[in-house]
Amino acid sequence: MISRKGLRTTTILVAMVVGVVSIILCCCIVLFLNRYRSAMVDNARTGSAQAVSQVSNTVGNYLRDMEQAMELVEQSMSESPDSRDELLSTFLKCRPDVVAVTSYSAAGELLDCWSPGREPKEDIFQNLSFDLERARLAPSPYMTAPHVVTIFESWYPWVVTMTESLTPVPGGDNAAAWVSLDLSFSNISGYINNVSIGQRGYCFLMDGAGNIVYHPQQQLLYSGLKSEDTGALAALEDGSYADDTVIYSLTGVADSGWRVVGVSYVDELVNRSVREMIRLSLWLAVLVLAAALLTSWLLSQLLGRPLRDLSSAMESFEADADHFAYRPVEGTREVQELSGSFGHMVLRIQQLMSTVRQEEVNLRKTELKALQAQINPHFLYNTLDSIAWMCEQGRNADAVKMIHALARLFRISISKGHELIPIAKEIEHAENYLEIQKYRYKNQFTYSFDVDPGCLDYYCNKITLQPIIENAIMHGLDLMVEEGRIDVRVCREGEDILFCVRDNGVGMSPEQARAILDEDAQDRTGIGIKNVNDRLRIYFGKQYGLRITSELDVGTQVEIRMPKIKEAGEHEAR
């Protein structure tokens, strides 16, 4: 009974059942996943904040440890030189993490350096551990960002420096105004490097102005492959901030201007948990899948088979429309109506195709006649101009010979209205034209024909060579001082016939050669050549026609390619 229902009714009934079930199920899953994702983001923010707090405590302990060490150093600096050296030597043995203790004059000159087993270089180009200008402006003590020690030879440890101003001792000989403590930063950097929030999360240190103190990916920052928006982060209060992709957690380090920033990624932390939720949702998706499979089976039985038959019929019609015979397809009411409409369309298209083919044949024949009509007046004008010139010069006998040659020329060109003539006739036509032109140009050029005898019985378009030779004389040889020459060659090349007209004239540039065959060319130069090329393409196809090669002051060669044709009616335009 259901197969008798309309396609629209059947589709609506099935789609309503599946749609309602799918919508309810999807809404439940979406709501649940949204709440679950929100809860996971909150948990991720809490975990990130805890990790950042631990880093802040560790860095704070590190700074307090430096302050205690600095107090010991300050006390030693108030002692006599011998006692001071003994105290600092003992201090360095007890604190292997201390790289160096240095003192500086009020002018910023390095006075003393205490380091286990190492002496500073004699010539120090730059001391990154001490900056006099900053020491004068910064509150005492002040902390530098991590850097390398540059005052030793071939030893460049990674340190952080604390600098403290000294109070001169009355009556003492201690001229030191500043003391600096270089403490190895490897322990704290190693700890920060090992902190991970998820698989890709990390922590870094920055100061209150947003300048990075230490970053575990500093090489990427220096190379420009990574960047941190520390300016925006510096403006935020301590706490956790999350957007759709990143969670930022910020905590200040006690008794310092440093802040710890934790960076974690929402997709990594949340999606890992969402995957677990997806597994729980698969059982619900099975219900939708079962309903979809059942729907697909019903639609396949009711609609798929007749529609496939109809599609196969359309493909057969597309492959061979002329010999296609259509048989109606059975199915639902809409399929039957579609099948009947397609049958009517097939008959109408076959009728239109037949009409279009006939009209196309007539149109192409008309185009050929129009092109031929354009060539004949052009040639006749040039020839009559030559005869008139000879009459003006009193060469009446030569004019009579030219008129007879012109009559023979037109007898061949008319050819009883046929477009194709034997190649032998085309060669005779070209020879008559050259003979006429020799009168006009007073034997200023010579010519030769090299014709393969096997080509004479084939057919070609009439008035093919004459426009090419005319262009060679008028635009190639007419401007020459020395004697010109035209060579005409006809040969076979595979399944084609190749005509070649070569002259030793003034030649032309590649741009001029291309312009001659340009479909949009408007000047008179090359009108005959263009029409020859158009006629060949209309008659035989775009793979045939003319190819012009030329070189300035060397000459021009025109190749004409057309297929081998044995009979005049063998290749009608279509």
**Angle at which helices 333-392 and 396-414 cross, to 10°:** 170
**Strand-strand pairing, 459-461 and 258-265:** unpaired
- Nearest partner of 91 among 110, 76, 113, judged by Cα: 76
Two tokens, residue 289: 């899948």
| CB neighbour list of residue 332: distance below 8 Å, 6 or more residues apart | 3, 4, 5, 6, 7, 10, 302, 303, 306
Please state the domain extents for the chain.
358-563
**Separation of alpha carbons 287 and 266, rounded Å:** 31
Give the pLDDT band (50/70/90) at residue 497.
very high
Task: Indicate if the pLDDT at residue 38 is higher than 90.
Answer: no
Give the pLDDT band (50/70/90) at residue 282.
low
The string of DSSP codes covering 70-102 is HHHHHHHHTS-HHHHHHHHHHHHHH-TTEEEEE
Other beta carbons less than 10 A from residue 525's beta carbon: 16
96, 212, 411, 424, 509 from 218: Cα distances, Å: 26, 9, 92, 86, 61
Task: Return the pLDDT at 276.
Answer: 67
Whether this prediction's pTM lies above 0.85 is answered by: no
Give the pLDDT band (50/70/90) at residue 512.
confident
Task: Indicate if the pLDDT at residue 573 is higher than 60.
Answer: no
Two tokens, residue 179: 């003391």
Higher pLDDT, 222 or 203: 203
Other beta carbons less than 10 A from residue 2's beta carbon: 12
Task: Indicate if the pLDDT at residue 547 is higher than 80.
Answer: yes
| CB neighbour list of residue 391: distance below 8 Å, 6 or more residues apart | 399
81-128: per-residue pLDDT in tens?
Answer: 888 888 888 888 888 888 888 888 888 888 888 888 788 887 776 787
Task: Return the pLDDT at 6.
Answer: 54
- Nearest partner of 208 among 187, 235, 183, judged by Cα: 235
Instruction: Report yes or no: 276 and 215 within 8 Å, Cβ to Cβ.
Output: no
pLDDT mean over 537-559: 89
Phi-psi region of 415 (alpha: psi -120 to 50; beta: other; left: phi over 0): left
Higher pLDDT, 440 or 214: 214
User: What φ, ψ does residue 222 adopt, rounded to 5°?
Assistant: -65, -35
Q: Which helix (H) or strand (E) holds 203?
A: strand 202-207
pLDDT mean over 447-471: 90
321-380: per-residue pLDDT in tens?
Answer: 766 777 777 777 777 777 778 788 878 887 888 888 777 757 766 765 665 555 556 657
Question: Domain 358-563 is in which class?
Answer: alpha beta
Among the residue ranges 184-193, 361-370, 469-478, 554-563, the one predicted with the least confidence is: 361-370
**Angle at which helices 423-440 and 465-472 cross, to 10°:** 30
Per DSSP, the chain holds a count of helices (H) and strands (E) of 14, 18
- Nearest partner of 160 among 63, 244, 90, judged by Cα: 63
